[in-house]
């Protein structure tokens, strides 16, 4: 039998159970799944290691870290994209929605300039040229509290196949930054602001929210529809926030900041995403609700690596210990995010699905990633 990839003697993490067996990938897709302990000639003996679907990441700022490794330090985009791609592949992520900010502020120490259109062009060109190890899609983070959001969104079209548009309102005193101390720690340190400059920055943001907030939110919702993208909310804090999100038609909620908001999402049928760093660390870096608390209350559907790519795989095994259910935990980083992003060709070990798979050995300390394949081709 000739196959692109044949893994045997593996614990296959199927959607509803784990079973000893083998998996065959031909022409980039899963062609056969068989249960049993046989090791056919030509197959790779996994020695009882787990085999699970490749990880699907919906929201990561990692690409921004590569294009701006220090504040005000611009790095050439193509090398940054390639380094980002290789880093994600090394952590088991085989599909990523690269989060790029749209909406800029062009003055002051808290300024941030537009970059998304140029970066997207370079990403799409590199993707078309087959330069990446993994699958890359666009996620536009729509900054409501900005000067130029709608102009920047207008630069994108359906041909860009934008996958996600998230509504992000970082106005001081609400949502993620209800606590201004947390905002000051985050922004002032990053941007080197003194107390007076930080106070000026806060007032500027409050002014932008008053001038543009409602217009930008309404416009971003319309733009998501025009682009054919899934709409996501971000940092919802109250039941009222969630009610607005439901009216806007969001598909999933990124990082609700309170149990109240998470419960409202559950009642509205909105999938709940939390950050892997929050889950691993036991709490949010900005004082918001702990992901583990939501997991224990059955209010967690999707996990995102957020700002630590390697945390995604680790978080799934952390959830498996909480729930005592490995397939359910693995679904939070594979099937559930794929479904939320309308990708029906990946995220589970099924015949006909993309051959994106991982080989993982469980240890007491952490899961040990021993192989990464994208469409049957080894990439890590």
Q: What does the pLDDT look like over 248-269, one tens digit per residue? A: 999 999 999 999 999 999 999 9
Structure tokens at 295: 């997991």
Task: Give the closest residue to 4 by CA, choosing from 369, 357, 359, 368.
Answer: 357
CB 221 within 8 A of CB 229: no
Lowest mean pLDDT among 114-118, 160-164, 167-171: 167-171
In 3D, which of 220, 74, 63 has the Cα closest to residue 146? Answer: 220
CATH superfamily of 55-344: Metal-dependent hydrolases (3.20.20.140)
Query: CB of 377 within 8 A of CB of 363?
Result: no
Give the CA radius of gyration of the chain: 21
Per the CB < 8 A criterion, the answer to whether 65 and 55 are in contact is no
Contact between 200 and 108 under an 8 Å Cβ cutoff? The reply is yes
Of 379, 371, 251, 353, the residue nearest 33 (C-alpha)? 353
Average pLDDT over residues 145-154: 92
pLDDT above 70 covers a percentage of the chain that reads: 90
DSSP 285: T
CATH 2.30.40.10 region(s) of the chain? 1-54+346-380
Instruction: Say what the pLDDT of residue 16 is.
Output: 96
pLDDT tens per residue, range 44-92 = 999 999 999 999 999 998 999 999 998 778 999 999 999 999 999 999 9
Q: What is the pLDDT of residue 4?
A: 87
Q: Is the pLDDT of residue 188 over 70?
A: no
> Element (H or E) spanning 44, and its range?
strand 44-45
Give the pair of three-digit tokens for residue 3. 């196959």
Residue 212 and residue 231 in contact, taking contact as beta carbons nearer than 8 Å: no
Residue with tokens 């949010």: 284
Q: What are the DSSP E strand ranges found in 111-244?
A: 135-143, 162-168, 230-234
CB 236 within 8 A of CB 242: yes
Q: Which of 119, 99, 117 is nearest to 58 (CA)?
A: 99
Q: How far apart are CA 193 and CA 380, in angstroms?
A: 41
135 has a pLDDT exceeding 50: yes
Closest CA to 56 of 308, 360, 377, 305: 305
pTM for this prediction: 0.91
CATH 3.20.20.140 segments of the chain: 55-344
What distance, in Å, lies between the first and last C-alpha atoms of the chain? 25
- Give me the mean pLDDT over the 84-113 stretch: 86
Confidence of residue 145 (pLDDT cuts 50, 70, 90): confident
Burial class (CB in 10 A: 0-12, 13-18, 19+), 156: buried
Tell me, rounded to whole angstroms, the distance of Cα 118 from its chain centroid.
Answer: 21
For residue 1, name the pLDDT band (cuts at 50, 70, 90): very low
How many CA atoms are closer than 13 Å to the CA of 287, on its beta-carbon side? Answer: 12
In this structure, how many other beta carbons lie within 10 angstroms of the beta carbon of residue 328? 16
Largest separation between any pair of C-alpha atoms in the chain:
71
Domain made up of 1-54+346-380: CATH architecture? Roll (2.30)
């Amino acid at each position: 039998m000739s196959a692109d990839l044949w893994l045997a003697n593996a614990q296959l993490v199927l959607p509803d159970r784990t079973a000893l067996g083998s998996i065959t990938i031909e022409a980039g897709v899963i062609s056969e799944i068989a249960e049993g302990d046989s090791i056919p000639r030509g197959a790779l003996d996994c020695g009882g290691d787990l085999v699970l679907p490749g990880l699907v990441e919906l929201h990561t700022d990692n690409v921004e870290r590569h294009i701006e490794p220090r504040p005000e330090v611009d790095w050439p985009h193509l090398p940054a994209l390639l380094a980002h791609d290789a880093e994600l592949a090394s952590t088991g992520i085989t599909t990523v929605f690269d989060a790029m900010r749209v909406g800029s502020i062009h003055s002051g120490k808290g300024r941030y300039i537009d970059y998304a259109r140029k970066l997207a062009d370079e990403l799409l060109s590199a993707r078309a040229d087959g330069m990446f190890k993994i699958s890359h899609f666009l996620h536009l983070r729509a900054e409501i509290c900005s000067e130029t959001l709608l102009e920047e969104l207008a630069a994108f079209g359906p041909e860009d196949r934008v996958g996600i548009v998230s509504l992000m309102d970082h106005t001081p005193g609400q949502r993620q930054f209800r606590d201004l101390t947390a905002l000051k720690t985050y922004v002032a340190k990053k941007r080197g602001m003194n107390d007076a400059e930080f106070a000026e920055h806060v007032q500027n943001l409050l002014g932008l929210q008053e001038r543009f907030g409602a217009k930008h939110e309404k416009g971003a919702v319309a733009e998501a529809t025009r682009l054919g993208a899934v709409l996501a909310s971000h940092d919802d804090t109250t039941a009222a926030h969630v009610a607005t999100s439901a009216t806007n038609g969001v598909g999933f909620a990124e990082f609700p900041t309170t149990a109240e908001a998470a419960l409202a999402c559950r009642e509205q049928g909105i999938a709940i995403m939390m950050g892997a760093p929050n889950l691993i660390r036991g709490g949010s870096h900005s004082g918001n609700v702990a992901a583990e608390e939501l997991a224990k209350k059955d209010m967690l559907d999707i996990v995102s690596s957020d700002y630590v790519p390697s945390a995604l795989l680790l978080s799934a095994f952390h959830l498996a210990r909480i729930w005592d259910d490995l397939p359910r935990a693995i679904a939070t980083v594979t099937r559930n995010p794929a479904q939320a992003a309308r990708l029906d060709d990946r995220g589970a070990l099924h015949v006909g699905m993309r051959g994106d798979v991982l080989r993982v050995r469980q240890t007491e300390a952490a899961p040990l990633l021993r192989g990464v394949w994208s469409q049957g081709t080894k990439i890590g």
